[in-house]
Amino acid sequence: MGCDIHAFIEQQSNGSSRWRMIPDDIFDCRHYGLFGWLADVRNYSVVPPISQPRGLPLNASRGIRREFESWGIDAHSESWPSADELLEFDYDAEFEDRRGEWWQPADPGSGEMTTYRDFLGSGYFDDLETLRGLRQLRPTRVVFWFDN
For the stretch 45-75, pLDDT in tens is: 999 999 999 999 999 999 999 999 999 999 9
Amino acid identity of residue 85, one-letter, is: E
Residue 78 · residue 52 · CB < 8 Å: no
For the stretch 9-48, pLDDT in tens is: 999 988 788 999 998 889 998 999 999 999 999 999 999 9
- Round to whole Å and give the CA distance between 76 and 114: 28
For the residues 132-147, what does the mean pLDDT come to?
93
